[in-house]
Every structure is written in C-alpha cells, then in structure tokens.
Amino acid sequence: MGRLAGKVAIVTGAGSGIGWATARLFAAEGARVVCADISGRERDVAALIGDSALAVHVDVASGADVAGMVDAAVQRFGKLDVLFNNAGFGGPHMPLTEVDEASFDALIAVNLKGVFLGMKHAIPAMLRSGGGSIVNTASAAGLVGWKGLAVYSAAKGGVVQMTKSAALDFAEAGVRINAICPGMTWTGLAGGVPDSDPPSGSHLPQPMARWGRPQELAAAALFLASDESSFITGAAIPVDGGYVAR
C-alpha cells in the first residue's frame, strides 16, 4: 500500500521542478493526481503517470481557473484529499527600487493570491469528503531576508502567515494546512530540466553547500500530505540545506 493510496491530489506547477517531481511521487505512492500548470507541460507529466493522472491547464491567479481545476478533480476522481499549492516564480534579483509595478503585481498574483485561491476552492471540496491536507510552497526567503528578492520574499512570507492562520481556521474540521520552505533548489526556474542533475561543486549560500533536488522537496510534501503527519498543522518547514538555521 502506498502512502497516498486511495487519495486524490492536485499538484499545481506540475510542469517542472518541484511540482513535476511531486506529481510523479504522489502517483507512485498510490494517489490519483491532477497535474495543473500554465505551461502546457502538465500534459507531459500526466502522460508519464498514465491513467491515474489528469492534466488541467490552469492560471493559478485566476479564480475561475482554480475553481475549474477543483471541479475537474472531483468530477474525474470523485473527491479531493490533497492540494499541493506549488505554482510560483521568482523573477530577477534586483533591489526593491528597480522592481516595476507590473512585476510586483505578477509576483503577488501568482505566489500569494494563487495560494489563497487554491485553498479557497479546495477546502470546501475537502470538507465534503471529511477532511484533507494542503501543502503550500513558501520559501526560505519567506522566513529570512534574501538580498534582491524583496517582493518575492514578501509574497512567500505572506504564504507562511496565511498557512498558519488558515490552519487555525480549519484545524477542528479535519483540514491540515502546512508549508514547505525550499532553499536554492535545482528546478526549471534555476536552469534545471525535469530529472536533471544539479551541477556539482557549487558554492551556494546554504550550509550544505549544494543545490537541493526537486525529489527532496517532493519527499517533504509527501510526508505532509500523508497520514504520517496527522498531528501537524500550521507548520512552515524549511527544506533548505540549513539556510535559515545560520
């Protein structure tokens, strides 16, 4: 029996990086998976998984798209147990004064509003089936300062606080809500392609002095999605090679 046997999960940002790895891991652990992305690559990962996957094209900053994504999961698989609210992007590193308003709006819309919309539409479906687990992708940059990433850090800090507050809202109702906080991870956003190995010998600003791998973040998401973490809610767990422990 897999750790998600019998469960239905949505993974946003499934077309690359952490989402790509997590969609495949959730399926390997027995879940039926809705692979959601805006890139078109959601179809590729769903095809790799097979009949237990459904690809859905989604802009997570659109309430209509997110509502449709949840509806598609329930219509295809009958319920919703898990949401991995993972879609996001970082944008270029630059001082705050060089960030234009359009970039600010896009970063907040995807990284913060997208998480809000995912929870807003997923939680009622979970309540109808007796509860569930939501895992939000925040960032180490949402826990400590990160030079050149003021707006991204603000959005991810908002994800951390929204995770904690929403977890309190629904703790007694059986919906657990937690966040993972990646450090520097070798994803498509960092130049990686699905399943590619990160470069070795990199001197990165995290104590383990290497890139994180999407599979390592997927493992953390799996733990929080599964019943193994049944007494954990409102947590923001760094998976960052020790970055925030310094």
Q: Is 109 helix (H, G, I), strand (E, B) or coil?
A: helix
Q: What is the pLDDT of residue 111?
A: 98
Rounded to an integer, the average pLDDT of 195-215 is: 76
Cα 43 to Cα 47, 54, 58: the distances in Å are 6, 8, 12
Whether residue 201 lies inside any domain: the answer is yes
Cβ pair 180, 137 in contact under 8 A: yes
Reply yes or no on whether 243 is catalytic.
no
Q: What is the pLDDT of residue 191?
A: 46
Whether residue 90 lies inside any domain: the answer is yes
Which has the higher per-residue pLDDT, 32 or 205? 32
In this predicted structure, the answer to whether residue 98 has a pLDDT above a threshold of 80 is: yes
Looking at the 3D structure of the chain, how many domains does it have?
Answer: 1
In whole angstroms, what is the distance from residue 147 CA to residue 127 CA? 40
In whole angstroms, what is the distance from residue 56 CA to residue 149 CA? 30
Whether residue 3 lies inside any domain: the answer is no
Whether residue 159 lies inside any domain: the answer is yes
Q: What is the pLDDT of residue 144?
A: 95
Q: What is the pLDDT of residue 82?
A: 98
Residue 210 binned pLDDT confidence (cut-offs 50, 70, 90): confident
In this predicted structure, the answer to whether residue 190 has a pLDDT above a threshold of 60 is: no
Residue 192 binned pLDDT confidence (cut-offs 50, 70, 90): very low
Measure CA 76 to chain center: 22
Cβ pair 140, 202 in contact under 8 A: no
Rounded to an integer, the average pLDDT of 179-188 is: 87
User: How do residues 149-162 score in pLDDT, each as one tens digit?
Assistant: 999 999 999 999 99
Q: What is the pLDDT of residue 204?
A: 75
Tally Cβ neighbours within 10 Å of residue 82: 27
Whether residue 233 lies inside any domain: the answer is yes
Tell me the pTM: 0.94
H-helix or E-strand spanning residue 227: none
Whether residue 43 lies inside any domain: the answer is yes
- The one catalytic residue in 26, 84, 116, 152 is 152
H-helix or E-strand spanning residue 163: helix 150-170
Domain ranges, residue 61: 8-245
Cβ pair 47, 121 in contact under 8 A: no
Mean pLDDT computed over every residue of the chain: 94
Q: Give the CATH number, domain containing residue 47.
A: 3.40.50.720
Whether residue 216 lies inside any domain: the answer is yes
Residue 198 binned pLDDT confidence (cut-offs 50, 70, 90): low
Q: What is the pLDDT of residue 246?
A: 86
Tell how strand 236-239 and strand 53-57 pair up.
unpaired
Residue where the block lists tokens 């929204």? 162
Whether residue 2 lies inside any domain: the answer is no
Tally Cβ neighbours within 10 Å of residue 102: 8
Rounded to an integer, the average pLDDT of 137-151 is: 95
Q: What is the pLDDT of residue 127?
A: 98
